[in-house]
């Protein structure tokens, strides 16, 4: 009986082993079949596998980068923090601090408007021209209004490229005067009684007044093709005071915006490009801030210039996103702690299409620069955007020089502020014969020749002789 059971168990084991072998063979056959199919598809399957893996890899990396960027922005120094710190150190007073904050808010608002201006139908030109005789775009007027609205409460006087006359701020000085110092309201005149009345309205706390000259939207001709634009500003003390005994010369010396660029206490520019940068200086270091759009997403931009306390409960009910109002000066984050202009650089920037109008020294320098035969020994390349802020920004960071050999750029709100900046960064500004900061303006819209950039490059250029363009042979604009 035992032998029979052993025989049955042995047969059962053999049957199981046979079936397992069959199954194994079937799996091998199936595996081979799948392998043949896979190989028959060729490299396409392998490429597809790698592409998918590549996409997955970059999705994870993008997420990490975004988190890293957000984390770093939380620890960055904001424009407000920087300005407050400069105020505490005594570099600037509280009045200048308020002016600078208003400038930052203006630049942030303009940057926001520029991101959607094509959708808002504000690209094209309108039927008006400014005091320069230039056809205005709607964004020119929008940017100008933004600056005036934000600055009016904090400055004594404003001069804009888009305005023919001085604009007085501080509410009680909210009057327009022309270059001659007289308007139809007799707001800035030789009438000593009128001036005395106006002066008496100033209280002791308003002892430190400032005047600001600005180009609200430089390079606006580039808007239609989405190239960089910018804003430029210069701030100086306001010392417009008159009395009965003052001579004509004394009155002229205290006229608004009558002082040379050497009197500036602050200057800067905003560059609206792939990112928005705000570069400023108080005459010592030059620093740069980058606008973080994510910091402006907590509230509608129309309320960006308001403080949290200014938002009413009713407004909060209308928009649940208005619980916290983010100020524009908190959205600008310090990104360039100290900008130093190289002593020389590889680029020059001007409109070479006007070569026939250049002086012989200018032509000679350009020829030598291309061949590497200037005193720096560098072979230069030409870079030209036709947006002063963009060309200057590149020059400030990389070296070289940028400018215009003809009297085209305005002294008060283009040449002088940028000369102030480049000097603070270790560079130089000249009109071809003298320092741009030493030129006193006669009128609000004086034009000068401009050469800005690395000190060695500017000195080398001027050593060739008179590089100014005195006569325009091919055009008159």
- Highest-confidence segment of 71-75, 238-242, 296-300, 437-441: 437-441
For residues 225 and 436, the model is more confident at 436
Record the tokens describing residue 243, joined without a space. Answer: 């009395």
pTM as predicted = 0.75
Strands 157-160 and 210-218, sheet pairing:
parallel
Q: What percent of the chain has pLDDT over 70?
A: 64
Give the span between the Cα atoms of 36 and 29, in whole angstroms.
Answer: 10
Q: For residue 348, give the 3-state DSSP assignment.
A: strand
Q: Is the pLDDT of residue 475 over 60?
A: yes
Q: Is the pLDDT of residue 42 over 60?
A: no
- Highest-confidence segment of 41-50, 204-213, 290-299: 290-299
pLDDT digits (tens, 9 = 90+) for 396-406: 999 999 999 99
Residue 236 and residue 157 in contact, taking contact as beta carbons nearer than 8 Å = no
Give the span between the Cα atoms of 450 and 388, in whole angstroms.
Answer: 11
What average pLDDT does this structure show over 434-450?
97
Q: Which of 86-100, 115-129, 401-415 has the lowest mean pLDDT?
A: 115-129
Predicted pLDDT at 355? 93
Q: Which of 169, 144, 150 is nearest to 101 (CA)?
A: 150
Match domain 77-336 to its CATH number in 3.90.550.10, 3.40.50.300, 3.30.540.10, 3.40.640.10: 3.30.540.10
H-helix or E-strand containing 335?
strand 332-336
Q: Which of 19-28, 165-174, 176-185, 248-257 has the lowest mean pLDDT?
A: 176-185
Give the 3-state secondary structure of 248-292. Answer: HHHHHHCCCCCCCHHHCCEEEEEEECCCEEEEEECCCCEEEEEEC
Residue 360 and residue 237 in contact, taking contact as beta carbons nearer than 8 Å = no
Match domain 347-462 to its CATH number in 3.90.930.12, 3.40.190.80, 3.20.20.100, 3.40.640.10: 3.40.190.80
Predicted pLDDT at 296? 72
Q: Is the pLDDT of residue 246 over 60?
A: no
Q: Which of 28-42, 147-161, 169-183, 335-349 has the lowest mean pLDDT?
A: 169-183
Q: Is the pLDDT of residue 204 over 60?
A: no
Cβ-proximal residues to 145 (8 Å cutoff; 6+ apart), any chain: none
For residues 288 and 202, the model is more confident at 288
Predicted pLDDT at 187? 37
Q: Is the pLDDT of residue 477 over 80?
A: no
Mean pLDDT (the chain, rounded): 78
Predicted pLDDT at 254? 65
Q: Is the pLDDT of residue 142 over 80?
A: yes
Question: Is residue 65 very low, low, confident or very high in pLDDT (cuts 50, 70, 90)?
Answer: very low
- Give CA 314 to chain center in angstroms: 35
Predicted pLDDT at 389? 98
Residues for the chain: how many in total?
477
Q: Which of 112-126, 127-141, 463-477 has the lowest mean pLDDT?
A: 112-126
């Amino acid at each position: 009986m035992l032998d029979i059971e052993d025989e049955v168990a042995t047969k059962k084991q053999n049957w199981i082993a046979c079936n397992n072998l069959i199954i194994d063979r079937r799996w091998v056959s199936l595996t081979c079949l799948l392998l043949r199919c896979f190989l028959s598809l060729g490299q396409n399957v392998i490429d597809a596998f790698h592409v998918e893996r590549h996409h997955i890899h970059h999705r994870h990396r993008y997420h990490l980068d975004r988190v890293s960027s957000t984390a770093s922005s939380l620890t960055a120094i904001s424009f407000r923090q920087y300005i407050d710190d400069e105020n505490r150190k005594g570099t600037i007073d509280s009045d200048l601090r308020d002016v600078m904050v208003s400038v930052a808010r203006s630049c942030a608002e303009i940057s926001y408007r520029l991101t959607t201006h094509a959708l808002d139908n504000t690209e094209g030109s309108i039927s008006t021209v400014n005091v320069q005789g230039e056809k205005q775009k709607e964004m020119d007027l929008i940017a100008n209004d933004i600056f005036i609205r934000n600055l009016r409460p904090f400055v004594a006087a404003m001069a804009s490229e888009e305005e023919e006359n001085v604009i007085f701020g501080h509410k009680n000085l909210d009057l327009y005067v022309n270059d001659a110092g007289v308007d139809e309201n007799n707001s800035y005149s030789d009438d000593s009684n009128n001036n005395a009345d106006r002066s008496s309205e100033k209280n002791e706390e308003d002892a430190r007044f400032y005047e600001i000259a600005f180009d609200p939207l430089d390079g606006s001709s580039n808007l239609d093709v989405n190239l960089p634009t910018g804003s430029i500003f210069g701030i100086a003390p306001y010392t417009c005071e008159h009395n009965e005994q003052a001579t004509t010369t004394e009155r002229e010396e205290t006229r608004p915006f009558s002082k040379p660029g050497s009197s500036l206490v602050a200057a800067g520019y905003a560059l609206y490009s792939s990112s928005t940068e705000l570069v400023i200086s108080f005459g010592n270091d030059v620093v740069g801030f980058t606008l973080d759009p994510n910091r402006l997403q907590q509230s509608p931009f129309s309320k960006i210039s308001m403080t949290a306390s200014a938002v009413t409960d009713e407004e909060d009910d209308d928009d649940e996103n208005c619980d916290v109002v983010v100020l524009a000066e908190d959205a600008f984050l310090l990104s360039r702690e100290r900008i130093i202009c190289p002593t020389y650089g590889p680029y020059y920037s001007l409109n070479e299409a006007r070569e026939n109008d250049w002086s012989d020294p200018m032509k000679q320098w350009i020829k030598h620069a291309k061949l590497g035969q200037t005193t720096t020994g560098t072979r230069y390349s030409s870079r030209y955007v036709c947006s002063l802020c963009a060309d200057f920004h590149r020059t400030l960071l990389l070296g070289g020089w940028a400018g215009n050999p003809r009297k085209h750029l305005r002294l008060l709100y283009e040449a002088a502020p940028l000369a102030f900046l480049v000097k603070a960064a270790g560079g130089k500004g000249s009109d071809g014969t003298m320092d741009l900061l030493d030129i006193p303006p006669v009128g609000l819209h004086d034009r000068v020749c401009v050469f800005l950039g690395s000190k060695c490059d500017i000195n080398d250029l001027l050593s060739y002789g008179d590089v100014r363009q005195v006569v325009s042979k091919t055009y008159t604009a």
